Each structure stands twice: as C-alpha cells, then as structure tokens.
Amino acid sequence: MIRELHQKLINQKITSEKLTEDYFSRIEKKDPEIKAYLSLNKEFSLDKARAVDKKIKNGEELDLLAGIPCGIKDNICIEGLPATAGSKILENYISPYDATVIKKLKESDSIFLGKTNLDEFAMGSSTENSAYQTTKNPRDTSRVPGGSSGGSAAAVAAEMCVYALGSDTGGSVRQPASFCGVVGLKPTYGLVSRFGLIAMASSLDQISPIAKSVEDAAIVLTRIAGKDRKDATTIKSGDTIYENCLTGDIKKLKIGVPKEYFSEGGLDPKVRKLAEEAIKKYEKMGAEIIEISLPSGEYALATYYIIMPCEVSSNLARFDGIRFGQSIEKEMGLNENLILQDIYFKSRAKYLGKEVKRRIMLGTYALSAGYYDRYYAKAQKVRALIKKEFEETFEKVDLILGPTAPTPAFKIGEKTENPLEMYLSDIYTVTANIAGIPAISIPCGNVRIKEKDLPVGLQLMGKWFDEETLLSAAHTLEQSA
Ligand code: GLN
C-alpha cells in the first residue's frame, strides 16, 4: 500500500494534501464511533502535506514515507503535541521534544494525523483501561480492538491512517493487530530507540509498527531502526533495508512449532485450526516443519507479571504531582497543612487509574526488602532460563510459529471484572518480550461468530536481529493467501 501511494504521489496522480484530507474525512466519519484517536493534528498535517507536494513539484527525491499519513500511539512524544499515555495524570501534558522514532519519521516527511488511544500507560489488552475512551473494533463494534495499542490497530484497520506506531511490552502491538486483522511487528529489543516513549517496563518495551501489509511494516521498520545515543540499549547500526529482504524464498526454512502452544488450555479450537492451516501452507511451499518443545514457556506469563510491575513501579514514580503530572496542589490551593507526601499520595490517588495502581502496588511489594529475592530475583532467573531455551531452539530452527492470541477479539466488558483473565490474552506474546526476540502477527483467516467474521492472527518469532527472515517468511505467507 505504501509503495503504491508513493508512486501515485511522485507521478502526481494525487497530492499529499488530498490524501491527508481524505484520511481526515474518513476520521471525521468513522471515529466518533470507533474512538481510535485521542487528539488530531489537522492544521499542521495539512501544512506538512503541502510542503511535501511542493517538494514533488520541484522534482526533489522523496522517501517512501514522504506525504504518507500515520497515527502515533499517545505514549510516544511528538514536540508540541499532547502525550497523555491514556492517563488523566498527563491530561494537559504537551511534549517539549520528539521521540527518536518521530525525529526519524520527520526526516522521511511522514504526516502525523494524530495520537491514538491506549490502555493507561500501555497496561491492558483491550483499551478499556484508557482513562478517556474505549476504542471499538472496526470489524465488530461490540468487541474490543485489543490492547494496549488498540487505537493504533483500529485506526489502521478502519483506514484512518496508512500505518501506525504502537509500543509492545508484552504483546500490545501483536495482540491488537490480531484482533483487528492487520500486521503488527515487535522488533528485537534494542533495534528501535525507546527515547521519547513514555516508559512502562524498560527492559521489555519496544516501539513497533502496525500496518496493512508485511511490506509496509518492513518499510516503517527500516526508517525507525538504528542505534541512538539517547538509548544505550540500542545496539545495531540500522542500515538494513528490510523491505528489500522480502524474497519469497522459504525453501530451506526450518519452522518450529511448539507443542505447548497447541495444547488444550484456553486456545480456541477455531484459532488452532487456522494456525494449523498456515503450517500446512508453509509445508506446501517447501518449508520444513519441526515439532519443538518450549517447556519454560509455561512460566513466561508469571515471570512477566513480576518483572513488568517491578519496572512499572519504578518508572511511574516520576508521576507524583511535582515532577510530572497533574497535581492536587492546584486544587487545594496554598495550604499549610498540605505536606509534600500528601501531594504525592493525593495526586497519584486521584489521577492514576485502577490497573496502574494495581501494578505499582504489585511491583513495589515484589521489590521490597524480604520479597526481592523471592519474587524479583527469582523471576530474573526464570527469564534467563527462557532466553536459554530460545537460544537452544534457534540452533535447530529459524522461526517459531504459533497463534498470536488464544481467541479472536472478545466483547467489550467481557473481561473487565477479572484482570487475571485479561492477562491470559498475552499468553503467547509475552515470551518474545522476555527473551527480547522479534515477533510478528499477521492475519491468517477469519472465524465466524454470530454472523461476523472476526480476524485471527498468526505469530512468527525469529532470532535476535534476524528481522529479515521473519519478515520474508511472513510476507510469503501473506502473498499466498
Ligand atoms: N497486555 C499486556 C499488559 O497488560 C501487554 C501490554 C503491553 O505490551 N504494553 O501488560
């Protein structure tokens, strides 16, 4: 899609201004119901689009993303625009700087239509934890779009942007991509700079593209990847052109299928069937399918729900009504009885949501003296074990295949009462974050539920920094559909 739009732009079949206007009219028509966007950036977008049109007229060479409209998750900072992270505590916050990924996309002349909805501080699997609104799934508006990057996935699915950025800490890009029928790619930890991403759990977070096709995701990845002085965990030079790696050659590819991912438990039989059909397709196209076992995966979700809240409790300490965030002080006025701790407690009590508080408390507890070894240190050991298991597995296979989520999109309100049930929708995705490996979700078919076709995603996981093989295999399957 991006390539075709680019051709149309440079051949002057359309202008970027017209393209941008079209996207805004679609947003005006559809978004009052879908609620994918938290804020729009219309004037600035149109100005930018006209500037791109000028460059085209002048015959300047343009990047593939020039003049292409996108949506950005509202926990990624764009200078001069709001960045609420879906939280009331950042309701009036305007970012004073650009995230590195935004700086890079600006160099490509991409157009930022607006900021998309998310679960508060990216904690959730449905966008129902957003302090502002629940995004609806464009394929069935009685259902959730997934989360936490549900706004980004819904915006792409409903054609309210060409591509979007989300962030993936435990599946927040892949699971909504699966629920909305689009592509979500979590890069290897360290491939994309996290500078300017409002941190949830720093050792797991990665900014990730959501797009209509594997090629589009690859095009975006090429532009945002690379070493950044402002994020010491970035470690690759970033000169790979991922969209040129989609060779279609999967003949010698070894694809591992973990038996644990297909065993009973919560996996919907219809989802399993679609994943099995994808396996058959790969086999037919010449890939070698190898049954594997990832026994430590059983502990992945438990490990995630210790490490993640620990990092959350530390990262979110800055939202205290003094350094960052809405403050109760304004409301209470000058009050000599108001001591510093009151400001902290009362501001956080008032402006942070229930799920965020739950995780801060869990994390603080797990890090406290006496429990640190029992929970946090132990979880780190299991993390090392899970990583080792992947290392050994990747000596035998090139990719690992399984479902992205155990079910298609669930109903709005269905899992809000029971957070543990909500956590289970990440069961297949968190392992990639724990190990730091790249993973992609691509649509692999629909299941029919109550006269609606609901999309289902297939997940492929690859070796550290081997996005080439991952994207190429995903692209081949996509093209065979
Ligand atoms: N749904 C998961 C959670 O609630 C993942 C979140 C994410 O990837 N940001 O933690």
pLDDT tens for residues 103-129?
A: 999 999 999 999 999 999 999 999 999
pLDDT tens for residues 36-62?
A: 999 999 999 999 999 999 999 999 999
Rounded-to-integer distance, Cα 121 and Cα 129, Å:
9
129 lines ligand 1 (CB under 6 A): no
pLDDT tens for residues 134-188?
A: 999 999 999 999 999 999 999 999 999 999 999 999 999 999 999 999 999 999 9
148 counts as catalytic: yes
Domain range enclosing 360: 1-481
172 counts as catalytic: yes
Q: Tell me, what's the pLDDT at 11?
A: 96
125 lines ligand 1 (CB under 6 A): yes
What percentage of the chain exceeds 70 in pLDDT?
99
Averaged pLDDT for residues 324-331: 81
Rounded-to-integer distance, Cα 431 and Cα 103, Å:
30
168 lines ligand 1 (CB under 6 A): yes
Overall number of domains in the chain: 1
Cα of 358 to ligand 1 centre, how many Å?
14
Residue 252 pLDDT class (50, 70, 90 cuts): confident
Q: Tell me, what's the pLDDT at 334?
A: 65
**For the domain that residue 211 is a member of, what is the CATH number?**
3.90.1300.10
Residue 239 pLDDT class (50, 70, 90 cuts): confident
- Give the residue carrying structure tokens 């950036």: 41
Cα of 333 to ligand 1 centre, how many Å?
37
pLDDT tens for residues 294-306?
A: 999 899 999 999 9
Q: Tell me, what's the pLDDT at 247?
A: 87
β pairing state of 69-73 and 288-292: unpaired
In this prediction the pTM is 0.97
Averaged pLDDT for residues 399-423: 93
Residue 420 pLDDT class (50, 70, 90 cuts): confident
Res. 80: pLDDT tops 80: yes
pLDDT tens for residues 19-37?
A: 999 999 999 999 999 999 9
Res. 194: pLDDT tops 90: yes
Cα separations (Å) of 481 from 92, 172, 278, 436? 45, 25, 10, 29
200 lines ligand 1 (CB under 6 A): yes
Q: Tell me, what's the pLDDT at 280?
A: 97
